[in-house]
């Protein structure tokens, strides 16, 4: 399994097949923008308990939106553009329900491993602190004019998180094309390529998320400090739409990476080939099969 050809094709995919993929972005971008605006306008003066409940509901809503979008992308790449309507999956079916359910299960499993690893890292840090002092507890960085403090020990939890996400997420494209698979079978499928799939599907998306959130925090700070109240609402709307578009462009690349990784490792469906995106089909499969 070669990493670079998969990344290259996934990055070029939204542009090379833009007439098909860009309409798929329309509905999720609009819905995500509306959710962001609701977050900004409706949660300003509510109690903490209500705020927590609403944020959980919004997180679930975003996961549902992503499930519709991801299923459409997986089917477009693995089966072909003819398998998906112009603006994506038109309704909620058993396929989308399975995808959403297993998405939650996979991330819950990965979160448990991350919390366990973080707890071990913190205990190791506390042990080291007894000899070296508190110097390793905090890392201060300045990014886009903002000073942030990070605990490098907590970030160690991302290593098992990305690894588990990477190997178990191969279940998701299989569900999108209606295959009956299990966590055990997809874990075995990536045997011998565990760290490669962890990099492609676990850590690269985590880096995308970090970049997106850093940019979002900076722009929110800019809006709150540089614009007066009667103009800030306009900027919030523009920012929310831009952030949603950027997020789903990155999601398109992430889903494409996962689909192409699944295609490489599973050996599935050579008779149902997706339309070539960057190179002749034969050359493409020669690259991906190594």
Count of residues for the chain?
A: 290
pLDDT, tens only, 82-129: 888 877 767 778 899 999 999 999 999 999 998 888 888 778 777 776
Residues of the chain with pLDDT > 90, as a percent, come to: 27
CA end-to-end distance (rounded Å), the chain: 5
Q: What angle do CA 22, 284, 282 make, to 5 degrees?
A: 120
pLDDT: which is higher, 151 or 59: 59
Token output for 75: 């089917």
Average pLDDT for 18-33: 90
Can you list the alpha helix ranges (DSSP code H) found in 17-93? 18-42, 48-78
Instruction: Return the beta strands (E) in the chain as ranges.
Output: 139-143, 146-150
Considering the chain, what percentage of its residues have pLDDT values greater than 70?
Answer: 73
Structure-model confidence comparison of residues 22 and 233, the more confident one = 22
| pTM score | 0.80
Tens of pLDDT, residue by residue over 250-276, are 899 999 999 999 988 887 654 444 444
HSE of 256, CA atoms in CB hemisphere, 13 A: 27
């Amino acid at each position: 399994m070669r990493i670079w050809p998969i990344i290259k094709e996934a990055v070029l995919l939204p542009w090379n097949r833009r007439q098909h993929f860009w309409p798929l972005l329309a509905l999720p971008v609009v819905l995500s923008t509306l959710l962001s605006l609701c977050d900004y306008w409706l949660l300003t003066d509510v109690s903490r308990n209500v705020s927590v409940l609403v944020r959980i509901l919004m997180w679930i809503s975003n996961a549902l939106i992503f499930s519709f979008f991801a299923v459409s992308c997986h089917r477009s790449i693995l089966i072909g553009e003819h398998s998906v309507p112009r603006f994506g999956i038109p309704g909620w079916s058993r396929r989308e329900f399975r995808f959403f359910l297993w998405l939650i299960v996979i991330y819950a499993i990965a979160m448990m491993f991350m919390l366990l690893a973080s707890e071990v890292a913190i205990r190791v840090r506390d042990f080291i602190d007894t000899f070296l002092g508190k110097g390793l507890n905090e890392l201060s960085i300045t990014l886009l004019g903002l000073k942030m403090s990070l605990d490098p020990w907590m970030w160690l939890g991302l290593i098992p998180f990305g690894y588990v996400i990477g190997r178990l997420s191969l279940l998701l494209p299989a569900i999108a094309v209606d295959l009956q698979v299990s966590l055990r079978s997809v874990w075995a499928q990536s045997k011998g390529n565990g760290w490669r799939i962890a990099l492609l599907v676990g850590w690269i998306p985590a880096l995308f998320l970090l970049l997106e959130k850093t940019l979002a925090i900076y722009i929110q700070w800019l809006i709150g400090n540089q614009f007066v109240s009667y103009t800030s609402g306009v900027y919030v709307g523009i920012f929310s739409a831009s952030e949603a578009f950027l997020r789903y462009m990155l999601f398109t690349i992430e889903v494409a990476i996962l689909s192409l990784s699944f295609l490489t490792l599973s050996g599935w469906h050579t008779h149902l080939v997706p339309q070539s995106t960057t190179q002749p089909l034969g050359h493409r499969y020669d690259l991906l099969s190594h």
